[in-house]
Amino acid sequence: MEQAFDVIGSKEKAVAIIDQTEDPKKVAEEIMKKHKNVKSVLMKLGGREGVYRIYELKLIKGDENTEVIHKENGYLLQLDPKKAYFSPRESTERMRIAEIVKPKEKILIMFSGIGPYAIAISKKKPETEITCVEINLDAVKYAEKNIQLNKINNVKNYCWDVKDARGLGTFDRIIMPLPETAVEFLDSAFICAKKGTIIHIYGVSNQKEKFTDLKQKIEEAAETLNMSFKFAGGQRVLPFAPRMWKVRLDLKII
C-alpha cells in the first residue's frame, strides 16, 4: 500500500511531502518513479511549530530548489513549502468560502499565509475588498507574488502579528484559518467586528462531539471578552488526527 503524501505544484514541476517513515529514500524513489512531475520529496520531521506555524521539512531526494507554482480552482499559487505553510487538501474549503462571500464585502483574513483564501475569494468575487495579515515575511512575499500572478488588485497584505490588526477598522467577514490556536485570537477578531459581521473560525474537534468541544471554547472566550454572537453554521473540513477533525464554525455578531 502506497504511503499517503501531498503533492504541491504543477504537471511540469511538483514537490511531494511525506510523513516520517522507516525507509524514506525508498518511498521517495517510488513516488518519483510513479509521478514524473515530482522533482523533490520532502519529509516532515514533526508537527507545525513556531510562530510561523510551518513544518520542518527534510529533503529526501531530488532538486534542492523546492519552489513551485501550484494550480487549483483556476488560479496560481507560488510558494516554497520549506518557507511557508500551504495545504493543497483545503482547496474545496477555500471555494466553499469564496462561494458564500457577498459582492462588495470588506474581508479580513488572519493567518493568511501565501494568500490562498484571498486569491480564491478575489477570483470569485472581484468586487470585494480583502485585507490579509500574516506574521511570516516569506509567506507575505509569496502572497504579493501571487497577487501579481493572478492579476488581482483588491487584496492588501500586511506582515504583522494578528494582534496588530486591531487598527484596521471593522469588516463584514473575518476568516481565521488556524485550527490549533485561532480561538486564542478571538479578541483581535472581535475588535475588528461589528454588528452583523460573520467570523469563520477554524478549530480541531473530536468527531463524536459534533463541535461541542470547540463551541465551548468559543463561548468561554466570548464571555470573557463580553461579546455577543450566535452560531450561524459549521462544516467538517478535513481529518486532522485519529478521531479528530479540522472544522469550521461560523459566528455572527449580534
Residue 210 has pLDDT above 90, yes or no: no
> CATH homologous superfamily for 88-253?
Vaccinia Virus protein VP39 (3.40.50.150)
Strands 68-72 and 75-79: antiparallel
3-state secondary structure of 132: strand
Q: Are strands 244-253 and 229-241 parallel, antiparallel or unpaired?
A: antiparallel
pLDDT digits (tens, 9 = 90+) for 157-178: 999 999 988 889 999 999 999 9
**What's phi and psi for 166, nearest 5 deg?**
-65, -20
* pLDDT > 90: percent of the chain: 85
Q: Which residue has the higher pLDDT, 207 or 113?
A: 113
Give the Cβ contact number of residue 224 at 10 Å.
10
Beta bridge partners of 38: 14
What is the rounded distance in angstroms from the CA atom of residue 4 to the CA atom of residue 224? 42
Average pLDDT over all residues of the chain: 94
According to the model, what pLDDT value does residue 1 have?
Answer: 44
Per-residue pLDDT at 30 exceeds 90: yes
Nearest-CA neighbor of 81 among 29, 177, 15?
Answer: 15
Residue 125's Cβ-side half-sphere holds a number of Cα atoms within 13 Å equal to: 20
pTM of the model: 0.94
Residue 197 clears pLDDT 50, i.e. is over it? yes
- What pLDDT, in 10s, does the model give residues 122-164? 999 999 999 999 999 999 999 999 999 999 999 999 999 999 8
d(CA 29, CA 86): 24
Q: If you search the block for the grid coordinates 520532502, which residue do you land on? A: 42
For the cut 90, the answer to whether the pLDDT of residue 48 exceeds it is: no
Query: How does pLDDT run across 56-104, given as a tens digit for each residue?
Result: 999 999 999 999 999 999 999 999 999 999 999 999 999 999 999 999 9
The answer, yes or no, to whether residue 186 has pLDDT greater than 80, is yes
Q: pLDDT above 70 covers what percent of the chain?
A: 98
With a CB cutoff of 8 Å and minimum separation 6, the contacts of 125 are: 98, 101, 102, 103, 105
**Domain ranges across the chain:** 5-66, 88-253
* pLDDT attached to residue 166: 83
Average pLDDT (192-212) is: 89
pLDDT on residue 110:
98
Give dist(CA 32, CA 68) in Å, integer. Answer: 16
Q: What is the rounded CA–CA span in Å between residue 161 and residue 18?
A: 30
Q: How far apart are CA 82 and CA 44, in angstroms?
A: 10
**DSSP element (H, E) containing 174:** strand 173-176
Comparing 5-66 with 88-253, is the CATH topology the same? no
CATH class label, 5-66: alpha beta
Alpha helices by DSSP H, listed for 10-129, are: 24-34, 91-100, 116-124
Q: What is the DSSP secondary-structure string of 48-113?
A: -BTTTTB--EEEEEE-S---EEEEETTEEEEE-TTTS---GGGHHHHHHHHHHPPTT-EEEEES-T
Sheet strand arrangement including 5-9? 5-9, 14-18, 38-44, 57-62
* Residue 48 and residue 113 in contact, taking contact as beta carbons nearer than 8 Å: no
The separation between CA 182 and the C-alpha centre of its own chain, rounded to angstroms, equals 12
Which segment of 9-18, 26-35, 160-169 scores lowest on mean pLDDT?
160-169
